[in-house]
Chains A and B, each alone.
Chain A
Amino acid sequence: MSIRRGLLALLAQEPMYGAQLRSEFESRTGGTWPLNVGQVYTTLARLERDGMVEAAGGADDEGRIGYRLTDQGRAEVERWWTAPVDRGDTPRDELVIKLALAVTVPGVDVQRLVQTQRTATLRHLQDLTKLKRASSDQAGGRNELAWLLVLDNLVYAAEAEIRWLDHVESRLAREATRAPEAHTRATENKNEDRSTQGASR
């Protein structure tokens, strides 16, 4: 997740100091990706080094320094809104790796693995749905809308995983009914080979 770009986008709205950035980031994404203040200040320091942000005047009474975007920072935010997010890097997904290994390592009950995962993912989906029910009962503003859209994203991701598991299951079932035939054919071929060999001898 690009915290860097997230902070730049928030600063495009108005100058803010670190703790403010942290709480705005969290409230707009429903606290799904919590940040600690340390992360925020480290990121701000790097952004300042790279010429994206600058201090907006001196420290206030409580010693807090507000930050604002430079022209370069503003251009970076503009680029972020208009360019697509790069999906080229396939993130490492433990489940996908686990399943790929399970179908190749002998002795793993893949069907059991799929079912156990599907039930667990559905439980997660139920939890997300409960959060949705609880939050849309209250009339909400833009931040509430943003949180609901984040939740929907997690809902669709969990649903996609379950659909993929359904697909894996039916694919494996098809493979299992085909396998004995393939095996018989292989044995028959061997027998044929042997009989031809016998005839030629």
Chain B
Amino acid sequence: MTASPILLLDNVSRVHGYAETAVRALDGVTLTVHAGELVAVMGPSGSGKSTLLNLAGGLDRPTGGAVFVEGADVGAMSMRDLAALRRRSLGFVFQDFNLIPSLTAVENVALPLELDGLRVRVARRIAMDSLEAVGIPELADRYPEHMSGGQQQRVAIARALVGDRRLVLADEPTGALDSQTGEAVLRVLRARCDAGAGGLLVTHEARHAAWADRVVFLRDGVVVDSTGTRPGAESLLDRAGTL
């Protein structure tokens, strides 16, 4: 791929504290996510997965190296530009859904657009498109408490990728769901990436990480291995008989 990545972590380090008490949460991590790609990060707790996600989303700044989102250096941004980046370029999906309970599904999805200054009607229309893309347009007027966990997580994915937002950062998105529902949510995430979004998925479940194009293993803040990109399903079906 020659196009510039949606997300680039270039030799990124994050050290908490100073001198003898310094803890290296991340140590020289390089990682890219291109459009149309879902990348999973696996590792035991304390391996630096959450730090990595926070840095990618501009919630935290690296102490070494640089983070680029759609070519822009996140570390060099003012707080204001950072806030704009989070409204316009990327969205988070969490284990506990994090929808606003007093807003309907479509209002939740439209929120980042409205905060960004779009007129309510325009924002709603774009939000509807996004709900359509995750397969639940009929739930637009429901409140979170009247939706199942799987439905709420679809709304969260719709919100993360509403309008021009092309990067979804998912932190254990299936952690609170049963295996069937979790798989359905991953199918949606996978489909959104196939449609051109970039996704970074943090999970400790191999079965879920396997939906990604590439799986990166993190330990003690260092990338210890990666699966590389796998061939397409077509070439696999040919050898299905020999599995």
A residues within 8 Å of B by Cβ?
30-32, 34, 115-116, 118-119, 121-123, 125-131, 133-134, 154-156, 158-159, 162-163, 166, 169-170
Contacts and interface: CB of A to CB of B under 8 A. Distances in A.
Contact of B190 (A119, A133, A166): A133
18 contacts: A32-B240, A118-B217, A118-B225, A122-B209, A122-B227, A125-B207, A128-B243, A130-B236, A131-B236, A131-B237, A133-B187, A134-B233, A134-B234, A154-B243, A156-B207, A158-B210, A159-B205, A166-B44
A27 to B, nearest CB: 11
Contacts of B190: 133
A170 B236 contact: no
Contacts, number: 74
A31 B241 contact: yes
The secondary-structure label for the interface of chain A is helix
A31 B240 contact: yes
Nearest to A120: B227
Interface in B209-243: 209-212, 215, 217, 224-228, 230, 232-234, 236-237, 240-243
Contact of A115 (B44, B209, B217, B230): B217
A191 B225 CA distance: 44
B103 interface: no
A140 to B, nearest CB: 14
Contacts of A123: 227-228, 230
A126 B243 contact: no
Contact of B210 (A30, A34, A129): A129
Nearest to A30: B240
Contacts of B44: 166, 169-170
